[in-house]
A = this chain, B = another copy of it.
Amino acid sequence: LEEFVVTIETRLTKRLRIKHPIVLAPMTPASGGALASAVAAAGGLGLLGGGYVDRVWFEAESAKVTRPDIGAGFIAWTIPEDPGLLDYALERYPRAMMLSYADPATYAPKIKKAGVPMICQVHTLEQALHAVDIGADVIVAQGTEAGGHGLGVRSTMPLVPAVVDALAARAPEVPVLAAGGIADGRGLAAALMLGADGVLMGTRFYATQEALVPSAAKAAVVAATGDETVRTSIYDIANGRFWPEGYTGRVVRNDFVKKWLGHEDELKRVRAEELKKVQQAFGSGDFDVGNVTVGESIGLIHDVPKAGDVVERIVAEAEASFEKYARQRIAA
């Protein structure tokens, strides 16, 4: 039995039975068992990063999960590579299943039948409307400033309220999470002002002690400003991962990106040897070459704390932000 103190209560905290309206993005490989558990322990929702349905990784990280109240997430267009992993995750993590980057309609019946809340990440208003039509229980409206993959055509500030308005008419019970560009309590407060019920954060949790990326990658996040990221397909090309049309990934604009940006066709011809360099670099901590898959909010990140401290800090900052103007109005 946990002590349960409501601070910022929203439709999300009620629907998913969490203390704070903060959700960990199911990043691969950053969001492993330790990180998902730490976010849950601090009162947020931790989502284990199923990513490209890598069963070996997923089972290994499942062994590190310390609590029953986490969820999971997958890159939906890769599920056919191992459909059984979705079943495994639904059984093991009934708190929530998040799908991204493909039509969720294919898997909605299975998720709904399992009684697991289905979180659908969308990048446009059109995708949001489709997602609620096929049964999404929570919508993540992700702007182009986010790290990792997306369509890159909408930004968080105008996308979130447009989705909120559209859902108010079409699916008024569905909470909306803002994602993209949010890394502190100011961002959480802003998202709530836009009408969101909470935030999904990847980049901020990437630079935490529990995140499963090399410490040199976290140091690269702390060092860079928000001007130093870019959307590109370069690492997907090197990896031989054929993403659906329109999807690019935001990464730090390092030497490897600068070298290949605009030379994608050439990269396709030499991708095998370039992939070796990327993998070696990731392993050895050389992030001038290895990918640092994060968003513009790196400009707001200056340390590598514990994930639980991040959650607490963000809630306190958001409350302070509200009070600044609440107090002012009373004074005026």
Residues of A within 8 A of B (CB): 6-9, 124-126, 143-145, 153-159, 161-162, 165, 180-184, 186-187, 189-195, 225-227, 230, 295-297, 299-300, 318-319, 321-323, 325-326, 328-329, 332
Contact = CB atoms under 8 A, between A and B. Distances in A.
Nearest to A126: B227
Given A187-B161, A329-B319, A154 B296 contact: yes
Contacts of A180: 155, 157-158
A226 B154 contact: yes
B161 A143 contact: no
B226 A8 contact: no
Copy count, this protein chain: 2
Contacts of A319: 329
Contacts of A326: 322-323, 325-326, 329
A11 to B, nearest CB: 12
A157 B227 contact: no
30 contacts: A7-B329, A9-B328, A125-B225, A125-B299, A126-B225, A126-B227, A144-B144, A145-B154, A145-B155, A153-B227, A154-B226, A154-B227, A155-B155, A155-B181, A157-B187, A158-B181, A158-B183, A158-B226, A158-B299, A159-B226, A159-B296, A161-B184, A162-B225, A165-B300, A186-B194, A190-B190, A193-B193, A322-B325, A326-B326, A326-B329
A59 to B, nearest CB: 35
Given A126-B227, A226-B125, A9 B332 contact: yes
B192 A187 contact: no
A193 B234 CA distance: 35
Contact of A143 (B157, B182, B187, B329): B157
A89 to B, nearest CB: 30
Contact of A195 (B143, B186, B226): B186
Contacts of A295: 158
Contacts of A328: 8-9
B190 A194 contact: yes
A6 B332 contact: yes
A323 B323 CA distance: 10
A180 B143 CA distance: 13
A230 to B, nearest CB: 8
Nearest to A159: B226
A156 B154 contact: no
